[in-house]
Amino acid sequence: MKKLVVYFFLFISAIGFGQQPKGEIVDLTHAFSQESLYWVTAKPFKLEEVARGETEKGYYYSANNFETAEHGGTHIDAPIHFAAGAQSVDEVPLENLIGDAVKIDISEKALKDPDYLISIDDLKNWEAVNGEIASGSIVLLQTGFGRYYPDAKKYLGTENRGEAAVKELHFPGFSAEAAEWLIQNRKIKAVGIDTASIDFGQSTEFSAHVALMTKNVPAFENVANLDQLPARGFTVIALPMKIKGGSGGPLRIIAIK
């Protein structure tokens, strides 16, 4: 809680009251629409118009219903998604969703190999150039696949949907070893990636999810606009829909650099 209070006062001091933030705000969220990409077995986003237009009393009114799976578009994976008894989305501490962040760009490798797994060497090579990842950081992984969104064929590896399409998924992700190294050696508090999953598309054991979430480390998936961020020196604010008992949910995530 103390850390959260510190972040609040740093944020207020940065923007002033009634003023725009002094740093540039980067929206890291894909808009939700019928184009939003979802896991191939998940129910896609649906917006149902309830009302739109002038009323009999002379004022304009619009309202919609929406329906969606927890895991699709820009969203959070709460730890309970892959760890029994871990935090649900409403239980994830706010201080784990707000904080200093780094971006690790492996797009040069990942765009050549859609099944690429980020390794411990990738992390150490980044640190050799940019300095050690500070304890309590939020780590964002740029694979370059964000440029393909919302083209399902390029982004996911398949346009097909349903259980049979799972075997057709191809996109990069964290190796289990890299995920465990970040937890054990850098004590990170959250990760994010510009693909549909922190595990690569061909994963069958989801070992990166398991490694992170058994330690109550949440993940942000389908993150947008990572190419607009520097390697370090920015703050992330990631606020999901607060679904009681939820394993995840739609996420509005921004960076201030």
Using the CB atoms, write b or e for 116-153: b if 16+ within 10 Å: bbbbeebbeebeeeeeebeeebbbbbbbbbbebbbebe
The candidate with the shortest Cα–Cα distance to 217, out of 54, 83, 101, is: 83
Q: Rounded to whole angstroms, how far apart are CA atoms 242 and 2?
A: 22
The predicted-structure confidence for 63-118, as pLDDT tens digits, reads as follows 999 999 999 999 999 999 999 999 999 999 999 999 999 999 999 999 999 999 99
Which residues, in sequence order, are CB contacts of 88 under 8 Å at separation 6+?
A: 78, 80, 243, 244, 245, 246, 247
Among 18-27, 45-54, 141-150, 183-192, name the one with the lowest average pLDDT: 18-27
Q: Pairing between strand 190-193 and 232-240? A: unpaired
Q: Which pLDDT score, from 0 to 100, does residue 54 have? A: 97
DSSP for 103-160? EEE-HHHHTT-TT-EE-HHHHHHHHHHH-PPPTT-EEEEE-SGGGGTT-HHHHHS-S-
Q: Which pLDDT score, from 0 to 100, does residue 106 have? A: 98
- Whether the per-residue pLDDT at 43 is higher than 70: the answer is yes
User: Of residues 248 and 11, which shows the higher confidence score?
Assistant: 248
What ranges do the domains of the chain cover? 2-42+69-256
Categorize the per-residue pLDDT at 6 as very low, low, confident or very high, splitting at 50, 70 and 90: low
Q: Which pLDDT score, from 0 to 100, does residue 7 have? A: 56
Categorize the per-residue pLDDT at 122 as very low, low, confident or very high, splitting at 50, 70 and 90: very high
Find the mean pLDDT for residues 36-49.
97
Categorize the per-residue pLDDT at 168 as very low, low, confident or very high, splitting at 50, 70 and 90: very high
Measured from the Cβ of residue 201, the count of other Cβ atoms closer than 10 Å reads 22
Contact 176, 120 (CB under 8 A): no
Q: Which fold has domain 2-42+69-256?
A: Glucose Oxidase; domain 1 (3.50.30)
Categorize the per-residue pLDDT at 1 as very low, low, confident or very high, splitting at 50, 70 and 90: low
pTM, rounded to two decimals: 0.91
Q: Which pLDDT score, from 0 to 100, does residue 166 have? A: 97
Categorize the per-residue pLDDT at 19 as very low, low, confident or very high, splitting at 50, 70 and 90: low
- Whether the per-residue pLDDT at 161 is higher than 60: the answer is yes
